[in-house]
Structure 1
Amino acid sequence: MKGLTGIAVGILALMPLGIAQSSLPSCATACLDSALQNSTCSATDQACICADAALNAKVSICVQSSCNVKEQLTTINLSSIACSAPVRNKAEVYRNLGIVFYTLSTMSIALRFIARFIKGMPIWYDDWLMVLIFLVTNNIPVNNGVGQDIWKVPFNSITKFLLFLWVIGPIYFMEISLIKIAFLLFYLRIFQEERFRRILSAFIFVNIVTGIALAVVSFFTCRPISYYWNRWDMEHVGHCVSSQAIAFAGAGIGIVLDIVTLILPLTQVWNLPLGLKKRIGVILMFSVGAFVTIVSILRLKSLLTVAKSANPTWDFVEGCIWSIIELDVGIICACMPSFRIILIRIFPRLGSTPNSSDPQFTTGNQSGMEVLQSNTTKSGISYSRDSGNYTMKPAQDDSNFMQCVEIRAVPEESYELVLANTTDR
């Protein structure tokens, strides 16, 4: 954030001179005196002063060059009160949205663990990781002036607000990386082909390194570090790299990693022996993470409005809102595969599984459909398709995958891969 010396003072229609001299900073009073000498407004005509655009422009230029940042903010605040300027405040919107998404993410985490209990599944790394993400995401403070014009915010609260932005920067980058890692750990529980698992492990490492690197860069944006939240008043000495560049680089890298995380499981699902309609259904289940990518893009757009903001407590509110939505939507999407277990327990009809008479799942070749049977092995289920082999074995907890694909025994002691719209009950 740049210094506030260039802050727009478009509402700088000052109070009657008698009041101004006792309330306004001396620099602003001198500017008003000078401007009134060439104005048709009298010093006591408040309505005229408030409505005279030319007078306001002259006083604004004078105040920016003659007053320090705190004096500028004080002048704008007193002027806006005197001329009954509307008071803008998005703090309640920000707070209410935070409550809504906090509730949704809380319910998602609860349903995730309820589903584990219902299925008798062990709690794994991705489950504990989601709890960590939830606890950190929903304990970020939302006050200190966010959603208000900066001249309405007490000076100490401006400092606290910028300290808040500095704190959530590294946290945001780590949280976004951890959400992607949670998705990747989920894929590790499902897909057991060794080459693909190595790719997943490598991509988890990429996300860890990226998250740490962006968090460290964000942490050390300014030297000294405290200059980040003290520089607004132009009374401190320090140096900062471009916060805008860091934000855009982080958002761009995050979107690319989101897309790769989304594509990875689809490359495996597309090779499963399923009919087109059923395959599309499975792909849609794995595509819920696309919502996170969409929100990330919307957040990136909001960053354009705050690139050189002189009113950060007001201009940053949209970016803060999208950041909260992005993190909580990530939590919700990561927990969505567990929702079906609950729904099927409540509405058993949703769990109806196609039987072996389904023309797409017979043991014979029908309408050009491939026969996909295999013998069981200790390592998993291996079946041939054309000239290549594809290997899938049950992971230590493959119940999540059973939400869209069920592997069931047939009389010949072989396995038939059957698409089901349910979990293995």
Structure 2
Amino acid sequence: MKVQGVVLSCVALLNAVLAQQSLIDRLPDCAAQCFEVALPMTTCKPDEINCLCIDIEFQTAAATCNAANCTVIETLSATNTTRAACGIPIKDASDTMIGVTAAFGGLALVMVIMRLIDRGLSAQAKLGWDDLLIGLAGFSSVVQNVPVFVAGRLGFGKDIWAITPSGLTASLKWLYVTYFMYQVAEALCQLSICAFYLRIMTDPYTRKIVWVLIGLVTCFGIGNTFAMIFNCMPITYFWDGWKGEMTGTCIDIRLFGFIRGGVEIALDLAILTLPLPMLYHLQMSTRKKLQIMSMFCVGFVITVVSCLRIHGLIQFGQTQNPTYDNVPGVYWCVTECNLFIVVACMPAMHAILQRALPSIFPRSRNASGYAQGQYGSSGPGKGSYFSQSDRRQKSGSNFPFGVITKSTDVKISREDRSDSDVELVDRPPYK
């Protein structure tokens, strides 16, 4: 028994020595030297890896030495090696980032395709500027989303010390594309909604407001895009600067994000709330009114997502693990844009659902077949916010312009519709 105990003790001691030696051998030279320098700061024995792993004073001394004497790549390699030796698992949020992007990006793409196909095949309506702009926004969102998938597969989303240097550089290159295409896609989506308003609204004052919004969105979108493209000088500093091997400067991305986010939320609210008062005063059933207004109210979810994205900026630049901690900032960014596209396509989806599911999404007509009234003054077609034709009722006599049939027509793109349908579905061409 004594011999067996001695043998076991020797084996345990040998394993500890080998573990220490193996750890030192796997560390970069500068980190191995720092390991030796930091040993006097601990009461743990050199072969007690588990003890060293929980000794905060030793860990701090070694990390300080690494930061002063090692390159960034060597420091990350040493961190990964020591954390692996201590049995600390690698955190990985890349699947979450990819999954969220795929879900909302796929939904946005499907809705854009359905909208364009429906508009292109419709005999009552023609493709307009709003359709063209949403098509460009959909394409831009694809260019925005795909780099997120690639960056996730390259390692972005894991602890920064667990990513290879080449993988980290490549993932940042791909995300660079995501960041500036996000600016492009969101501006195009906002312009599409404004173009949609121009097509359906006839009130001069409201149309002036829409044109002002178009000007603001255009200037803001162009400014944001160029600010993102040239946020670092040289541009390559965006994906190579982390190595600490080149000189360059970048704008304060947190300050830029806060200012941009505040203006973006203000523009979103202005665009999304513009039609609500007019929709509220339309003469239709409460159910129909709520159904239409709810499509626009869904857009307020975008404001919530924008706030979440801004909240993610709080820790941006303050973390030592940016590839993991900044994952929410990435997926909230692309989700905001994809949701905006979904909201912009909802009126078109309403038209498709009316044809596919008429029992659930009926058209607003009363029992006699008459379309319901308009919002505005009592004169036919006057004072209305929405495009529509003059309306008359049959009285049994001839009017100066001929006999009027017993039907109430609200014509948009030469199809009988009620106010609650036409302005959200088949829209007249621009005048």
Task: Give the TM-score range, shorter chain.
Answer: 0.7 to 0.9
Q: Does 1:141 align with 2:144?
A: no
- Give the drift of 1:135: 1.6
| Match of residue 49, structure 2, among 40, 46, 65 | 46
Counterpart of 2:183 (choices 170, 173, 187) is 173
Provide the secondary structure at the position in 1 that maps to 2:43.
Answer: coil
Aligned to 2:13: none
Quick one: structure 1 residues 371 and 49, their matched pair in 2 at CA, closer, same or farther if it must change by over 3 Å?
Answer: closer
Deviates more, 1:315-324 or 1:104-113: 104-113
Q: Distance in 2 between matches of 1:340 and 1:308?
A: 45
Judge conservation of contact 1:192–1:394 (CA < 8 Å) in 2: no
Corresponding position: 1:130 with 2:143? no
In 2 relative to 1, CA 241–347 (structure 1 residues): closer, same or farther, beyond 3 Å? closer
Matches of 2:420 and 2:349, distance apart in 1 = 15
Matched residue, 1:401? none
Q: Paired residue for 1:250, among 252, 260, 264? A: 260
What is the number of equivalent residue pairs in this alignment?
383
Match of 1:83 among 83, 86, 96: 86
1:185 corresponds to which of 172, 190, 195: 195
Report deviation, 1:336: 0.7
- Shift in CA distance, 134/54, structure 1 to aligned 2, threshold 3 Å: same
Query: Whole-Å Cα distance in 2 between the matches of residues 59 and 128 of structure 1?
Result: 58
In the other structure, the counterpart of 2:73 is: 70
Partner of 2:118: 115
2:23 maps to which residue? 20
Query: Following the alignment from structure 2 to structure 1, what is the Cα–Cα distance between the partners of residues 355 and 292?
Result: 20
Q: For the structure 1 residues 148 and 56, does the alpha-carbon distance in structure 2 shift closer, same or farther, using more than 3 Å as the test? A: same
Report the Cα distance in structure 2 between the residues aligned to 1:286 and 1:119, rounded to whole angstroms: 26
Mapping for residues 214-363 of structure 1, pairs under 5 Å: 214-270=224-280, 272=282, 281-349=291-359, 350-355=361-366
Mean Cα deviation higher: 326-335 or 22-31? 22-31
Native 8 Å contact 2:376 2:384 kept in 1: no
Structure 1 residues 356, 34: closer, same or farther in 2, change over 3 A? same
Larger Rg: 2
Q: Deviations over 1:309-367 (max 9, x none)?
A: 33221122111111121111111111111122222222222315342779x9699xxxx
Aligned-partner SS, 2:313: helix
Distance 1:321 1:371, change over 3 A: closer
- Given that residues 116 and 135 in structure 2 are in contact (C-alpha distance below 8 angstroms), is that contact kept between their aligned partners in structure 1? no
User: Which ranges of structure 1 fall in alignment gaps of 5 or more residues?
Assistant: 1-14, 364-369, 376-380, 383-388, 396-406
Q: Is the 8 A contact 1:28 1:67 kept in 2?
A: yes
Q: By how many angstroms is 1:103 displaced?
A: 2.3
Give the TM-score taking structure 1 as reference length.
0.80
Question: What is the CA–CA distance in structure 2 between the aligned matches of 1:371 and 1:191, rounded to whole Å?
Answer: 12
Moved more, 51-60 or 201-210: 51-60
Q: Is the 8 A contact 2:31 2:78 kept in 1?
A: yes
Separation in structure 1 between the aligned mates of residue 202 and residue 376 of structure 2, nearest angstrom: 22
Does residue 393 in structure 1 map to residue 387 in structure 2? Answer: yes
Q: Which of residues 102, 105, 109 is equivalent to 2:105?
A: 102
The aligned counterpart of 1:374 is 379
Cα distance between partner residues in 1 of 2:376 and 2:49 = 88
Change (3 A) 1:16 1:43: farther
Contact conserved, 1:373 with 1:415, CA < 8 A, in 2?
no
Contact 1:104 1:332 in 2 (8 A): yes
Q: TM-score, normalised by structure 2?
A: 0.79
1:119 CA displacement? 5.5
* CA displacement at 1:169 relative to structure 2: 2.6
Q: How does 1:406-425 map to 2 (within 5 A)?
A: 410-411=393-394, 413=404, 420=420
Amino acid at match of 1:221: N
Aligned residue type for 2:134 = M
For the structure 1 residues 285 and 103, does the alpha-carbon distance in structure 2 shift closer, same or farther, using more than 3 Å as the test? closer
Alpha carbons of 1:31 and 1:424: their partners in 2 closer, same or farther (altered >3 Å)?
A: closer
**Corresponding letter in the other structure for 2:68:** S
Please give the secondary structure, in 2, of the residue aligned with 1:318.
helix
Instruction: Report if the CA contact (8 A) 2:180-2:229 is conserved.
Output: yes
User: Counterpart amino acid of 2:318?
Assistant: K
User: In angstroms, what is the RMSD of aligned CA positions?
Assistant: 3.1
